[in-house]
Amino acid sequence: MVGDGLTLADVTLVTTLLNVYRFHFHQNRQKKIKNVTRVFAGLCERDEFKSVLGRVMLCRQALNPLKPKGGKGGKGGKGQ
């Protein structure tokens, strides 16, 4: 942000980190990058972003991806 105006960098920051903050950066990770979290949350509170994104909810708990069934995982079958 430059003064009170938005820059292309602000738009890029929010759109790049939006899903990361929604689904991956839980509260413990957010604590490690306080300044980035503060800037991201502040930008999301601006009317310009709220009108497009709505209310942005930050991740509270890490999501655990599903593990493949049947052993070691990975693609392919026998003979690889």
Higher-pLDDT residue of 2 and 56 is 56
* 29-70 per-position pLDDT tens digit: 888 989 999 999 999 999 999 999 888 888 887 777 677 776
pTM of model > 0.85: no
Residue keyed to tokens 């995982």:
73
pLDDT exceeds cutoff 70 at 1: no
**pLDDT the model gives residue 40:** 92
Q: What contacts 14, CB < 8 A, 6 or more positions away?
A: 40, 43, 44, 49, 53
Q: What is the DSSP letter of 3?
A: T
